[in-house]
Structure 1
Amino acid sequence: MIAIHPLTGMPEIYAGDDLAKMLREALETAGLWPIQENDVLVVTQKILSKAEGRMADLDEVRPSPEAQELAQATRKDPRLVELVLRESSAVVRAVPHVLITRHRLGHVMANSGIDRSNIGPGGEERALLLPVDPDRSAAELSHALAGGDGIAPAVVISDSFGRPWRHGVVGVAIGAAGLPALVDRRGDEDRDGRRLEVTQIALADQIATAAALAAGEGAESIPAVLVRGLALPPGNAPASALVRPVEEDLFR
């Protein structure tokens, strides 16, 4: 049976904190230590970015002419728009109150994933950026959380994305280690013996969304979730495998 365990009671995270140590303590407090085979620890991007010092002070940002022009078009803070441009490789859409970009990691998302909610004191004049390399960070956390028996959890770094043509956000994986983030079922057969031709499963995204049911999106203060009881398929593919290449973008 699959069980979703929220990790509660974690303190505010600050730059330089030993996140692996804090997560282990939360797992121990929740009675979820030691790690078991096929455990997946889902860690929200927000606490990872905080621990890695990805906080930006808006008072120190000087908007470029391009940022000022985009800010006028989108009715957003020019300083925030400048940070968005620094984190992105392309602007996909800019209309009043909406700025969609292609992040340097390849994700197409609002505001390059920059967030100003639930970031602690002084949030009005600060903004939190995505981790520099969330796949690497996931691998480092997995290694650091290995138990004495050598069993390490798979780790998914989650964020909340909107989706084209649908309202609302869902959890997605922006980093992953210890599991195949994308499972390729092409070539398998369905129950009627028909060959699967296009089926690829975004396993890490599915896990991130399942964890979001427990973590919440507001003031729940649940920054990590342990998913236990999955039968993980073999293999190891990072979350970057989930990003569709630009040349396959059908809507440009």
Structure 2
Amino acid sequence: MEVQAFPVVSVIGVRGIPEVVAGADLAALVHAGIAGGGLAIEPGDIVVVTSKIVSKAHGRYADSTDRRAVVAAETVRVVAERMTSTGATRIVEGRCGVVSAAAGVDASNTGAGEAILVLPERPDEAAEQLRAGLALLAGHDAFGVIVTDTAGRPWRGGQTDFALGAAGVRVIEDYRGLPDADGRQLDVTAIAVADELAAAADLVKGKVERIPVALVRGLGRLVAPDSSVPRDGAARLVRRGPGDFFAMGHIEAARAALGAAPGSAESVAVGIRSVGAEPGSERLARAVRLAALTLTDTPSVLEASGDTEPEARVVLHVPGDDVDLGRLIARLEVALWSEGLTAHAERAGRVLTLRANGSGG
């Protein structure tokens, strides 16, 4: 009976890489680290490198030490935002195309002082540049390079590493159109193997061990001649356009429809929902401000009460005619939903009384 070998993948952390400074020959440092461990880059290997040392080597230090200003400069669009104890935290699309918290701006392990690092501007090009330098030292180019970063994920707690840039390696294994083990055709299965490699490599790199590079061995099938590897690299993994079902958070979408798009001055003026518990009166007041945002004649608050749950109350004087009043009420329904509130309204002439309580929205 023929005995089949079990598939084996090795993930090896590369020690001995010194602090990387701007202008450093990163390929030489990575190659020396691998060689210092008694290894060589073999055909079929994949070198996984954290983006932090790529940014350091490229001198991607921000001009400012104001982290919020740097995040704003690196932001293309805001997807979601919440208030925290340290101010507004935003999930954004960064200049490199990836959606993550704070545009990937990093102030940890960036060297002495208060330096702030930003991500490589063109991550796939950075991966290709590193691969070319390593190829000269390794004597062949039959290997891949993945540049990684760390991010959270919708519906999942914690963070994981993902492929920010890639060169010489397949980023997706596409099984669509192929039969499964039972002969049924696969219609949607496309595995983001570059992200899986990035996450696996982080298990030996870690965030505090100062091991910024890993060597993955045993997945030579993912390393292919340049002619068969898509040239868009890890950019292929980013959902854009019609394929992006989550271009904006659900609360942000409701607020944007009322004129307070996330990240805008209007959003800041209205106030941003907190990640923590807030008094019902505060949430109700913010909903009123949001509802009145684009009205020509804004309502005035005559009375407000209810510093604690379950009920908050506000009394408004509404100028204008019944059309203006109806428009305000319609906008209030949406604004209240964005705050997780429902309200019972009582009208007496131009005076509108709202009694609100939580709905879990």
Is residue 44–residue 158 contact of structure 1 (8 Å, CA) maintained in 2? yes
- 2:34 is aligned, of 27, 33, 56, to 27
* Matching residue of 2:64: 58
Q: CA 1:25/1:148 → structure 2, altered by over 3 Å: closer, same or farther?
A: closer
Out of 93, 102, 109, the position equivalent to 1:102 is 93
3-state DSSP of counterpart to 2:209: coil
One-letter code of the match for 1:136? E
What is the one-letter code of the residue matched to 2:91?
I
Report if aligned partners of 2:124, 2:235 keep a CA contact under 8 Å in 1. yes
Q: 1:232 aligns with which of 217, 221, 224?
A: 221
Q: How many Å separate the matches in 1 of 2:15 and 2:140?
A: 25
* Contact 1:171–1:212 (CA under 8 A) maintained in structure 2: yes
2:256 equivalent to 1:244: no
Return the letter of the residue paired with 2:59: G
CA distance in 1, matches of 2:110, 2:182: 51
CA distance in 1, matches of 2:11, 2:93: 32
Q: Which residue of 1 aligns with 2:287?
A: none
Using the alignment, how far apart are the partners of 1:108 and 1:232 within structure 2? 29
Residue by residue over 1:201-221, the C-alpha shift from the partner in whole angstroms, topping out at 9 and shown as x without a partner, is 10110100000000012x200
- Matched-pair contact (CA < 8 Å) for 1:42–1:227: yes
Q: Distance in 2 between matches of 1:15 and 1:129?
A: 13
- Calculate percent identity across the aligned residue pairs: 42
1:142-181 aligned at under 5 Å gives the runs 142-146=131-135, 147=137, 149-181=139-171
Select the structure with the greater relative contact order (CA < 8 A; seq sep ≥ 6): 1
Whether the 8 Å contact between 2:96 and 2:120 is mirrored in structure 1 is: no
Using the alignment, how far apart are the partners of 2:205 and 2:154 within structure 1? 23
Match of 2:202 among 205, 208, 212: 212
Q: Per-residue deviation at 1:246?
A: 3.2
Describe the SS at the equivalent of 2:132. Answer: helix
Give the CA deviation at 1:149: 4.2
What residue in structure 1 maps to residue 129 of structure 2? 140
CA RMSD, 1 decimal:
1.4
Shift of 1:152: 4.0
Shift in CA distance, 104/246, structure 1 to aligned 2, threshold 3 Å: farther
1:37 positional shift: 1.4
- CA displacement 1:60-119 (0-9 Å, x = unmatched): xxxxxxxxxxxxxxxxxxx32221122121011121132110112221100000011111
Corresponding residue for residue 53 of structure 2: 47
Cα distance between partner residues in 1 of 2:242 and 2:74? 20
Runs of 4+ deviating beyond 4 Å: none
Q: Structure 1 residues 22, 152: closer, same or farther in 2, change over 3 A?
A: farther
Give ranges in structure 2 of 5+ residues lacking alignment: 1-7, 249-361
* Residue deviations 1:164-215 (CA, integer Å, cap 9, x gap): 1111111100000011112221111101111110111101101000000000
Pick the structure with greater CA Rg: 2
Tell me, what secondary structure is at the counterpart of 1:56?
Answer: coil
Contact 1:36 1:151 in 2 (8 A): no
Alignment check: 8 A CA contact 2:143 2:169 kept? no
Shift in Å at residue 148 of structure 1?
A: 5.6
Q: TM-score when scaled to structure 2?
A: 0.61
Whichever residue aligns with residue 207 of structure 1, its letter is L
May I ask how many residue pairs the two structures share in their alignment? 229
Q: Does residue 109 of structure 2 align to residue 118 of structure 1?
A: yes
